[in-house]
Chain A
Amino acid sequence: MAETTDAVLQVELVAADRLVWSGQATMVIARTTEGDVGILPNHAPLLSSIIEGVVDVQTVEGETWIAAVDAGFLSVADNRVSILSERAEMSHEIDLEQARAELERCKQAGENDDEAQEKVRRAEARVRAAERAS
């Protein structure tokens, strides 16, 4: 891959009803159906489905943004990264206590179908995002 050190990623984190975050970043980590992927500048074009989890964004200023997302998509092309998810929340928007309580409730429900597991994964992602931010 060509070494152009000045390349940065233009990142957009988009939820169904709003643009959650957009800005420039040096690295994005997201969880796809196949496992975690890290995206650096000049990544090959990629279109992938992501699952409920945490998205890490390292901005050009050296900050780390963490967001909890639902299932959705990740598309990378020409150093533009868009993460689409029906629901997405930045870590600082999540109330940790409430997220923990939610996770407990989802686990207690103890159902084993896909929907229940999805809920648990979503709650876990929110707790993790909030914990790592604090």
Chain B
Amino acid sequence: MAVSVREYRARIRSTESMKKITRAMELIAASRIIKAQQRAQAAAPYARELTRAVSAVATFSNVDHALTLEPEDPKRAAVLIVTSDRGLAGAYSSSVLKEAERLIEKLKGEGKEVDLYVSGRKGEAYFKFRQRAVVEAWTGFSDQPTYDVAAEIGATLIRTFLDEEGADEVHVVYTRFRSMLSQEPTAVRLLPLEVVEGTEAPAEGDLLPLYEFEPSPSDVLDSLLPRYVQSRIFFALLQAAASELAARQKAMKSATDNADELIKKYKRIANQARQAGITQEISEIVGGVNALADAQAGSE
């Protein structure tokens, strides 16, 4: 009996140290999430001004740009999947991957070949395990993405889009951060660009002025659109980072709660075992005493 009490004590101790770890991770995620949200907010002015500029050019010139042109017969699609580098974030990565699989199925159903681009180690591992080819993977920044990474990803995707052999459309699957409690895997088409999509249209009466373009509208558009794409990717990465942290915080909170439950349960069982041990000892002693008394009574 005494052995199992010791066993339960050991289990309680290990659960307690696990609880400390999950609790620490919960707190870390909670503090990082504020930073992630601040970063997302800090990036907003750039995206806003860029969108304004793009819609200004789009309104005042009829230049067609390679990045906005709908291919007539799309055959290849590139899909960028934004996952996390680390686990312990609940269903975060798997729900993005599920959404991605759905999109891939849909694209295949439309007769397109799908090229995979992945950000985050979890996604990379997922496809590697299933031996599916990934064209390019970027890892190591999922909880605090920088603009440089977004620019690099953007450049790669634009290159494949502009390449004759490459993709005819580019999709992004990421997790949108709605609130601390709800994050939603979302798939959007990035290229060809639809300029006004998804962003606030300028308010009524806020008429766009008649811009002069220097050197020329098409030149301005040439350097404007790739940046627009990059800024959209940056936005997706920032949202994904905030979502990852929120998911991790939630997962770690429930892990801590579970550990609490478990400790309570083990403590009860351990106490029970201890009680049982004591009772047994008493009854053994009493039994021994009785036996002795009986033996003595018999010999007298």
Sample of 6 further A-B pairs with CB below 8 A, known A75-B52, A82-B49:
A14-B45, A17-B46, A34-B215, A46-B213, A73-B49, A75-B56
Q: Is A12 an interface residue (CB 8 A)?
A: yes
Q: Shortest beta-carbon distance, B32 to chain A, in Å?
A: 16
User: Is B43 interfacial (CB-CB < 8 Å)?
Assistant: yes
CA distance A47 to B50 in the complex (A): 11
- A105-133: which residues lie under 8 A (CB-CB) from chain B? none
Instruction: In the A-B complex, list the 8 residue pairs whose CB atoms are closest, starting with the nearest.
Output: A48-B214, A45-B209, A16-B147, A18-B42, A77-B209, A47-B211, A45-B211, A82-B49
**A contact residues around B220 at 8 Å (CB):** 47-49, 73
Dominant secondary structure of chain B at its interface with chain A: helix
8 Å CB contact of B43 from A16, A45, A82: A16
Q: Which of A18-59 contact B (CB under 8 A)?
A: 18-19, 32-34, 37, 44-49
For chain A, give the interface size range: 20 to 34
State which residues 30-72 of B face A: CB under 8 Å: 39, 42-43, 45-46, 49-50, 52-53, 56-57
Task: Give complex CA distance A12, B223 in Å.
Answer: 20
CB contact between A86 and one of B151, B208, B215, B224 (< 8 Å): that residue: B151
User: A15 contacts B209, CB within 8 Å?
Assistant: no
Report yes or no: B209 in contact with A17, Cβ–Cβ below 8 A. Answer: no
What's the least CB distance linking B287 to chain A, in Å? Answer: 78
A71 with B214: CB separation less than 8 A = no
Of the candidates B39, B42, B214, B231, the one whose C-beta lies within 8 Å of that of A47 is B214
